[in-house]
Every structure is written in C-alpha cells, then in structure tokens.
Structure 1
C-alpha cells in the first residue's frame, strides 16, 4: 500500500504542474487529456484539459487533474521533509510566489526549521527541515 495525494483543479492543472516543475519539485511523467487519444469528454469545456497526470520528483509523487466539480482544496497539505536549510528556503520562496505564507519559515517549538504556505493554486505546503540540518 502507498498513499499519494490527488490534486483537483478546475482548469489550471497544466499551469500548476508547470509551476511545480519550475519550483524544482520534479516533472510530469504521465498525462491523459479529455478528448485526446480516445479519452472521454464529459464536459466540452474540459476538452484538452488534464484528465489525469502523474507528477514525480526525488522523494515526491502525486497525481492531479482538471475537474469541473472540484471542491476548493482544504483540510490537507503536502508535507515536505527537507534535509537542507538553504534548499528549504529556496523552495519555500519559489512555492510562495503569488501565494500566502501562513507560518513563516523559522525554528519552531519542536526545534525544527518549518514553514507553511498556500500556493497560488490553493494547495497547502508544509516544509520541515529537521533540527541540526543546515
């Protein structure tokens, strides 16, 4: 058994996945599109949009799609366990472009370097760099 997140966007899946790739998280390794290569189209507004995508990077795997009945993302976050404070700073800054920082990066009560943000697509990210890692 393996748990992976599945992100639902309404029409911005391509834009979001491109953003995550530019942030250095990884890249799309598989994509199916509504109305392409025999894939069904339940709503013409979704034709050509992402029906299913697999995004993968070092230590990271999630899935995503455009969906006309997607609910706003809430109640879940991606937690990235980082091992380098400089890399944590760089990724946090990249993911935060156009988003909202809810917990600025800093040493927390439990001793780790941690921050939380919601990116411009509504996805929550928590970055945690264990104490002593610099």
Structure 2
C-alpha cells in the first residue's frame, strides 16, 4: 500500500505543475489531456486541459488534474522533510513566490528549521529540515 496525494485545480493544473518544476521539486512524468487521443472533453472544459498528471522527483510523488468541482485546498498540506538547511531555505523561497507565508522559516521545538506556506495555487506546504 502507498498513499499519494492528488491535487485538483479548476483550470490552472498545468501552470501549477510547471511552477513546481521550476521550484526544483521534480518533473511532470505523465499527462493525459481532455480532447487528445480519444479522451472526450466534458462540457465546461477546454480541449487540452489536464485530465490526469503524475509529478515525480527525488522523494516526491503526487498526481494532479483540472477538475470543475474541485474543492478549495484546505485541511491538508504537503510535508517536505529535507536534510540541508540551504536547500530548505531555497525551496521555501521558491514555493512562497506569489503565495502566503503562514509560518516563517525558523527554529521550532521539533526542528532547527521549519516553515509553512500556501503557494499561489492554494496548496499548503510545510518544510522541515531534520538536521
């Protein structure tokens, strides 16, 4: 058994995944689009929007799609555990671009470096440097 997150965006899935690539989280490794290769385009969708995508990098795996009935992303966050303080600071700054920092990076009782943010696409991230 393996638990993987599935992110639902209403129309900005591709933008979000491209943003995560530029942040250095990994790469889009699989994409299925509405209206391509026999996949129908449901009413309200635009041909080419993402029906299903797989995103993967070292220690990172999640799935995503455009979805017309997507709920706002609340009550869940991606927790990234890193072992390099400079990498943690760099990734936090990249993910925070255009988003909102809810807990600035700093020392916590459980960690020498922890921070939380909501990115520009509404996804919550917690970064914890375990060294």
Q: TM-score range with shorter-chain normalisation?
A: over 0.9
Unaligned runs of 5+ in 2: none
* Counterparts of 1:70 and 1:30, CA distance in 2: 21
Q: Please report how far the alpha carbon of residue 45 of structure 1 lies from its aligned counterpart in structure 2 after TM superposition.
A: 2.7
Q: Please report how far the alpha carbon of residue 30 of structure 1 lies from its aligned counterpart in structure 2 after TM superposition.
A: 0.2
- 2:7 paired with 1:29: no
Q: Please report how far the alpha carbon of residue 44 of structure 1 lies from its aligned counterpart in structure 2 after TM superposition.
A: 4.4
Map 1:88-99 to 2 at 5 A. 88-99=88-99
Give the conservation status (yes or no) of the 8 Å contact 1:46–1:66. no
Unaligned runs of 5+ in 1: none
Tell me what 2:105 maps to: 105
Q: Summarize deviations over 1:29-59 as a string: whole Å, max 9, x none.
A: 0000011101122224332100000000000
* Counterparts of 2:112 and 2:40, CA distance in 1: 47
* Counterparts of 1:12 and 1:66, CA distance in 2: 7
Instruction: Please give the secondary structure, in 1, of the residue aligned with 2:71.
Output: coil
Q: Please report how far the alpha carbon of residue 111 of structure 1 lies from its aligned counterpart in structure 2 after TM superposition.
A: 3.5
Q: Please report how far the alpha carbon of residue 106 of structure 1 lies from its aligned counterpart in structure 2 after TM superposition.
A: 0.4
Map 1:20-99 to 2 at 5 A. 20-99=20-99
Q: TM-score, normalised by structure 2?
A: 0.97
**Aligned residue pair count:** 131
Tell me what 1:127 maps to: 127
